[in-house]
Amino acid sequence: MKKYFFIGLTVFYLGYNNLSAQANLLNAKVPQEIGVLNEQQIEANDNSPVAYGYVDDRDILWSKTIWEIIDLDERINFPYYYPTIDNGFLSKNRQSLFRILIDNIKAGNITEVYNTDYFKEKISFEDMQDRLALRRLSTIGIEKQNAGEQVTEDDYDVFEVTSDKIVQYRIKGTWYVDKRLGELKYRLLGIAPYAPDVSTLDQGAAAFESEPVPLFWVWFPDAREALNNNKVFNTRNSSQPITFDNMLNSRRFNATVYKEENVYEDRQVKEYIYEDALRQLLESERIKSVIRDFEQDLWNN
């Protein structure tokens, strides 16, 4: 009896994950039916983000807020970068993290968007346009303008920040020890895409040699619903994808600490370790060790 129960549970689990990957793929009579869910499938796929739960300030024994860089050149971070081209050939569920953020901000699903990582100055989608796109007269257009000729739309060069222009994400989060649970936990607070300044995109590859700039900062709890509705492609098993919300909350990425809260106005590592990449990396690892060792020392003292 237990054997058949286990087999039935396994079949249900695999079937559920297939629904969350490419719904109705094996039952579709025409390609247009792929991804179309019936009422039962919609009900089965109705997953909300995992609730954080309430944490009383009196239960926080120790905490430290840090800022980290997720470099999209690293292979482990590729799921946050690809796909870079939204050409409609891939499933609508496969989008880059940047495209998900932009589309949901534009649609009004994500409203807590700010100018800096301290979340003081709120901005709208219209406020971000100067950072996302640049419209400039081409050389031919300038010549026509100087000659007194009529300038048309074809005489303008348009440069736009798209998914392939994003070089890194920066995140802000807090590590804390919950004395009721007696363990070290992490809470992600904000995330920001970084890209070359839109005014330098006309330089081609040279634009990526300059320091990237933040496009906007998103208050992460407000974006969880949108991120939970979009899944990351699983290279090992395409029938079992994982949501962006789960990916980020479970810290499935490689990141480097570039700043921690400190008495020196939260200065960055590069501000007190000058032009020495190795020492800056070692300092980042030292900050991580302080956080990791605090939990270990909690039980050794």
Residues of the domain holding 18: 1-46
pLDDT (0 to 100) of residue 180:
87
pLDDT (0 to 100) of residue 6:
40
Does residue 138 lie in a domain region? no
41 and 62 part of one domain: no
Beta partners for 191?
A: 171, 218
Does residue 187 lie in a domain region? yes
Does residue 146 lie in a domain region? no
Residue 193's CB is within 10 A of a number of other CB atoms, namely 26
110 and 253 part of one domain: yes
CA–CA separation, 10 and 139 (whole Å): 64
116 and 260 part of one domain: yes
Does residue 262 lie in a domain region? yes
pLDDT (0 to 100) of residue 14:
40
Find the distance separating the first CA and the last CA of the chain, reported in whole Å: 50
60 and 186 part of one domain: yes
6 and 111 part of one domain: no
The model's pTM:
0.81
Task: Quickly list H helices, the chain.
Answer: 2-21, 39-44, 97-107, 129-132, 139-146, 220-228, 244-249, 277-300
Does residue 115 lie in a domain region? yes
73 and 26 part of one domain: no
Does residue 153 lie in a domain region? no
CA–CA separation, 228 and 220 (whole Å): 12
89 and 230 part of one domain: yes
CA–CA separation, 260 and 114 (whole Å): 20
DSSP at 251 = T
Does residue 148 lie in a domain region? no
Helices (H) and strands (E) in the chain, counts: 8, 11
185 and 41 part of one domain: no
Residue with tokens 């406020």: 127
Q: Give residue 51's region: left, alpha or beta (phi > 0; psi -120 to 50).
A: beta
CA–CA separation, 291 and 63 (whole Å): 9
Question: Which two structure tokens, joined as six digits, stand for 219?
Answer: 């208050």
Domain count, the chain: 2
Residuewise pLDDT in 10s, the chain (301 residues): 434 434 443 433 444 344 444 666 667 767 766 667 666 665 556 577 888 888 899 999 999 999 999 999 999 999 999 988 765 555 566 889 999 999 999 999 999 999 999 999 999 999 999 999 988 877 787 777 788 887 777 778 888 999 999 999 999 999 999 988 888 999 999 999 999 999 888 888 888 988 999 999 999 999 999 999 988 888 788 778 889 999 999 999 999 999 999 999 999 999 999 989 999 999 999 999 999 888 888 776 5
32 and 124 part of one domain: no
256 and 217 part of one domain: yes
Does residue 68 lie in a domain region? yes
Strand ranges inside the chain, DSSP E? 60-71, 113-114, 133-137, 156-160, 168-178, 183-195, 213-214, 217-219, 231-232, 242-243, 256-260
229 and 287 part of one domain: yes
94 and 5 part of one domain: no
